[in-house]
A = this chain, B = another copy of it.
Amino acid sequence: MSGRRLLRHGRLFTSSGAGVLDDGAVVVEDGRIAWVGPDRDLRAGEGEDEETDLEHGLVTPGLVDAHSHPVYAGERFAEIAARSAGAPYGEIAAAGGGIAATVAATRAASRAELAVGLEERLASFLSGGTTTLEAKTGYHLDEEGELAAVRLLAERAGGGPGPGGRALPALEVTFLGGHAVGPEWAGDPDAYAAEVARWCPAARAAGARHADVFCDEGYFTVRQGRVMLEAARDAGLVPRLHADELARTGGAELAAELGCASADHLLCVDEAGIAALAAAGVVATLAPVTALSMGRTPPARALLEAGVTLALGSDHNPGTCGTTSMSLVVALGVAELGLSVVEALVAATAGGARSLRLGDRGRLEAGLRADLVSWEADHEGAFAWSYGLAPRRVFLEGRPVA
């Protein structure tokens, strides 16, 4: 049948119960995985229009980056340098830096400028092997801007060639109106939280599927987070949460209470918070790059031992982290978080899909999307060695895109 593609003789890291197939084959049909198994069990098909010999190269599911902030304008390099030299964040914020600087630059940018910057970043994620990217709004912090950011993302959510002509990853669009208090509501976070709650139905209608809140010291309280995420849930959005990153404020318990898909960061979570996440089936999405710069390691092993599913994210954002490389994140998952290579790769694929409530990807399994990456290596251990392993070829729904 036409449209079939065979990938043969690969080392298949399936991220599923099948484990690693040393000499495996994948049959792709109509953008889905039609069959996967040991190469010797492959039955001759008819009229395959393309057969690729992987020559024992490593193949994984497309990587899922479960936490990113890619819609913004401007850069904050001078601020980053000043912070590294010890300038207190309060001082930087008082001088108009911090998230306020990005909000001002993002609001000032035209839609076309935002689109160009966004597509450049998205293309870079894809070229690093990320086929699905969770992408948050949150640098407008007013109704019109936040909804425009949702639309900007939603128009590109399908993956493949975007409006600008570049190949892009599939996006999971997250409405993050609750990223910080909008400047017009400065000093009145309750009023702003009520506004964000009011915007949720429109965000859903504009194409968001998830909603997130930065629930932490200096940002939103648990009570304010609840207001926003209950409204989000009522509007049909899947809630998730920046939780217990800067301080232990109870974000983990809130995530559990609301049935969030994911609680993210968790640098300061304690045993009780971990137990709450485990009991509620909330995924823990960890961001090793930004954790490193915070000088604190999230309790990855304790989370795993409690039965919590892990996901990984780049946390790409204009203030602290510019990487788009999930293979760097996987390497840091091993070196910094103490995960095994298998655990880190499962977190970066199947775990990410679960963090985003996506049942159709993240594993090499018949019936799932044919989002695959073949890598410049013949063993998954290369991820922990390379600190940025390069894809050989990236397939999105079976089509080679990078």
**Contact, CB under 8 Å: A380 / B293:** no
Instruction: Give the residue of B75, B323, B379 whose beta carbon is less than 8 angstroms from that of A81.
Output: B379
Query: How close is A396's CB to chain B, nearest CB, in angstroms?
Result: 24
Query: How close is A301's CB to chain B, nearest CB, in angstroms?
Result: 11
- Chain B residue nearest to A329 (CB atoms) is B387
Residues of chain B within 8 A of A386, CB atoms compared: 322-323
Residues of chain B within 8 A of A292, CB atoms compared: 292, 332, 335-336
Residues of chain B within 8 A of A170, CB atoms compared: none
Cβ proximity bits A46-77 to B, threshold 8 Å, 1 near / 0 not: 00000000000000000000000000000111
Instruction: Give the residue of B86, B338, B339, B385 whose beta carbon is less than 8 angstroms from that of A295.
Output: B338
Instruction: Give the residue of B86, B320, B334 whose beta carbon is less than 8 angstroms from that of A385.
Output: B320
**Contact, CB under 8 Å: B384 / A328:** no
Q: A85-B340, A293-B335, A342-B85 are in contact. Are A80 and B385 (CB under 8 A)?
A: yes
Residues of chain B within 8 A of A385, CB atoms compared: 75-77, 80, 320-322
Most B CB contacts (10 A, CB to CB) among A85, A384, A387, A388 go to A387
Q: A295-B338, A378-B77 are in contact. Are A387 and B84 (CB under 8 A)?
A: no
- Chain B residue nearest to A80 (CB atoms) is B381
**Contact, CB under 8 Å: A81 / B321:** no
**Contact, CB under 8 Å: B77 / A321:** no
How far is A344 from B293 in the complex, measured between Cα atoms in Å? 14
Residues of chain B within 8 A of A379, CB atoms compared: 75, 77-78, 81
Residue A341 is within 8 A (CB to CB) of chain B in the complex:
yes
How far is A184 from B79 in the complex, measured between Cα atoms in Å? 56
Residue A228 is within 8 A (CB to CB) of chain B in the complex:
no
Residue A382 is within 8 A (CB to CB) of chain B in the complex:
yes
Cβ proximity bits A359-380 to B, threshold 8 Å, 1 near / 0 not: 0000000000000000001111
Residues of chain B within 8 A of A378, CB atoms compared: 77
**Contact, CB under 8 Å: B334 / A293:** yes
Cβ proximity bits A72-107 to B, threshold 8 Å, 1 near / 0 not: 000111111110111000000000000000000000
- A residues near B (Cβ < 8 Å) are 75-82, 84-86, 289, 292-293, 295, 320-323, 325, 328, 332, 334-336, 338-342, 344, 377-382, 384-388
